[in-house]
Amino acid sequence: MSPPGAGSYMLHIVLTIVQFISCASIIALVLIQRGKGADAGAGFGAGASGTVFGARGAGTALSRATAVLVAVFMLNSLALAYMGTKKAEAPKSIVDTAGETAPAASSPLILSVPAAGANSGAAAAPAPAASAPAAGSAPK
């Protein structure tokens, strides 16, 4: 049997992994894409300036993939923020749980106290105090 917060913990781990992968993918896609200034260079003879896919190829596919990954990243960020604001259950210690697991059908404990004169003498007298060493005598 798993603890009460185990499902939430696993979901948090999965969302964090998705966040990392989407972030790394967005960075890679942005670095692969061609900047707006590359069009000016193409007009002056630098035909395939800058990208692996050529002057025009795969520009819209990369733009769409970036937009989809940005949407995944934003929704995932909102989900992680929501999970972070939920109040976490305080961890329980042994002292907290000790009262919850009382014995089921136990008889009440009855303590008997002896009468005042039943044990006269030996236990009532205090023990003699140890005598202090005489002044001026050193331990040997």
Q: Residue 71: phi, psi to the nearest 5? A: -65, -40
pLDDT number for residue 60: 83
- Do the domain assignments include residue 11? yes
Cα–Cα distance for residue pair 33/69, rounded to 1 Å:
14
User: How many structural domains compose the chain?
Assistant: 1
- Do the domain assignments include residue 80? yes
Low-confidence ranges of the chain (pLDDT < 50): 1
Pick the closest to residue 83 from 2, 19, 35 (CA basis).
19
pLDDT number for residue 46: 57
pLDDT number for residue 30: 92
- Do the domain assignments include residue 83? yes
Contact (CB, 8 A) for 89 and 5: yes
pLDDT number for residue 113: 78
- Do the domain assignments include residue 10? yes
Question: In the chain, which residue ranges form alpha helices assigned H by DSSP?
Answer: 6-32, 38-43, 59-85, 94-98
Taking CA atoms, 128 is separated from 19, 121, 125, 131, in Å, by 76, 15, 9, 9
Burial 69-96 (b: 16+ CB within 10 A, else e): beebbeebeeebeeeeeeeeeeeeeeee
pLDDT number for residue 38: 60
- Do the domain assignments include residue 112? no
pLDDT number for residue 16: 95
- Do the domain assignments include residue 78? yes
pLDDT number for residue 79: 94
pLDDT number for residue 92: 73
Query: 0.85 exceeded by the pTM?
Result: no
Domain that holds residue 79: 6-43+51-88
- Do the domain assignments include residue 79? yes
- Do the domain assignments include residue 30? yes
